[in-house]
Each structure stands twice: as structure tokens, then as C-alpha cells.
Amino acid sequence: MRLNRRWGWMWVPKIGHVLFRWTRDLPVGKHADKENRVTGARLVKEAAGWHVVFRVQSQAPEPAPHTGPTVGIDRGVTRPLALSDGTFRDHGPWLTHGEGERLRRLEKTKERRRRARRPGEKNSRRLTRTYDQIARLRATAKRRAVDWQHKITTEIAETFSRIGMEDLAITNMVRSARGTRETPGRNVRQKAGLNRAIAAEAWGRTVTMLECKSADRGGSVVKVPAPNTSRCCSACGLTTPGNRETQARFVCKNPGCGFEGNADTNAGRNIDRAAGQAVSGRGDFGVTRSTKRRPPTRPHAV
């Protein structure tokens, strides 16, 4: 039941009436019918507090085919999203300088109090409070990251009809380089830092959002194999490791071409071209289409 513009209340078994902040319109009262109605709800406890999630069934019309241009997107750490049209989608740090310093101090405090605990001893109240403070800061960073991803993926899905993405094995990319005692790894600390940077960008979540939003707008997401997308020249097609002059600069080694440009933009153009090739999944530029068509009625969380 809606009380006013900002607040509503619901009945929870074994708890009673619960007030909640109204953030999205729900089909309740005179706005509800057989095809548009609330079918369930649940309470979720997160680091930032309690939330109520409503399951809503609504009638979704079949979207018309998207008539916009196509694009290829290269995902990275320095530049999160590089589009084939030469533009970038960047973001700043998820935590401010003060929040980052506070998180660093809390991490040091956690380690100091954890080392002082005896084996098998229950966590002290201070250590538990420190864990909660760290979780709240990390939850804040995640909410800001998800908010940025929602805004960017909505803009991309509304602009482009076909979106090409690399089919990356992210789980394999973030594996530790520590190795074993017999064959220890090399550059373990550098690889660990790269793994944290890749995990912070949440590349898989970006693709999932694009697939859902593109399907709702009549577009599609096409995944292409990742090998040689950053080594191939988008102008002449020459593929050689020497083309990648630096991490950010691409210079074609073909004497008859001489193309120069941003390496991520060049990779995005190769991805866009590969997504438009109607070939099988074999070879350097195989294609896997993802449209995710939905039934006329579907539940979604609020």
C-alpha cells in the first residue's frame, strides 16, 4: 500500500507492517490487473541495510527492430569501454579520496585485531564492527559501479542496433599466477593487481546488461572470439604482434598502410567488422549471437 509519494508499507508474515521507501511505480490498487500485478516480495539484508524486492509481472510488447548504427566495443582497465566510433566511456574511482583512506585504515585495523585473536576464539565486537564498516564502504563502491554501468549500457543500447563484444573467458583471465612449490609463478604481485582491476570493472555484468537492454529495444549483442582483435590492423587487415607499438598506441607495420591510432579504438573496429561477418564460430572471427527474446509476460525485480 502506498502512503504518500515517498513511503509505502507492506505486511510481512511473523514481522508485521514494514515501512519502505517507494523508489519505483508498482502495479497496485487500480493500476493492477491480471496481466500487470505484483506476484511476490522478499526482504534482503545487505551491507547498506535492509531492502524489499518486489516481483512484478507485466505485459511487454514485442520491440520493433532497431534501425541504429552498429558498434564494436573493446573492454579494458585503463579505458573501461572503447567504442569503434572513436569515443570512450570512462569513469572515476568508485570511492573518494577520503573514503579510500578510511578503507585503507580499516583494513589495517582488521588485520591487527585479527592477528590478536586466538585460534578458535570468537570474533570480538570491535573486530565485527570493523568488518561491518569495511562491508559498507565496499557496498557503496559497488552501488556506484552498478549505477554507472546501468547508465552507460542504457545509452549504448538505445543508440546502436548491433553491439559487438569480445567473447572473453574472464574466469581464466583472473586466475592467480602464484603457481606451485615445484614451479612457482613470476610477477605474482603484478598479476594480482591486474586481477583486482579486471574484477573491479565487472566486464561480465556489462555484457549481461547490454544483452537484456538491447533485446528490449530490438537490438542484439554479438560475441566474437578475442584472439588477434588487438593485433589486426582495422585499415588493411595485417595481423602481427609488432602492430601494438605501446599499450595505448597502434601503428601498422605494413609499408603500404601506415595506419596509426588508438589501440583500443582499432580493436573496437575489428570487433565491429567481425560481428557483421555471417560465418561460423570457427576461425579468428567466428560469431555468437545473443538476442535473449522474452515471452510476452516476464517478472522483473523492483
pLDDT tens column, 130-159: 999 999 999 999 999 999 999 999 999 999
- What confidence score (pLDDT) does residue 245 get? 64
Look at the chain and count its residues: 302
CA distances from 276 to 67, 208, 250 (A): 15, 20, 23
- What confidence score (pLDDT) does residue 286 get? 43
Separation CA 285–CA 223 (nearest Å):
10
pLDDT tens per residue, range 46-84: 887 888 888 888 887 888 888 889 999 999 888 899 999
- What confidence score (pLDDT) does residue 197 get? 86
- What confidence score (pLDDT) does residue 149 get? 95
pTM: 0.80
- What confidence score (pLDDT) does residue 284 get? 42
Q: Is the distance from CB of 244 to CB of 267 less than 8 angstroms?
A: no
- What confidence score (pLDDT) does residue 301 get? 39
- What confidence score (pLDDT) does residue 297 get? 38
Which residues of the chain are modeled with pLDDT < 50?
Answer: 278-287, 291-302
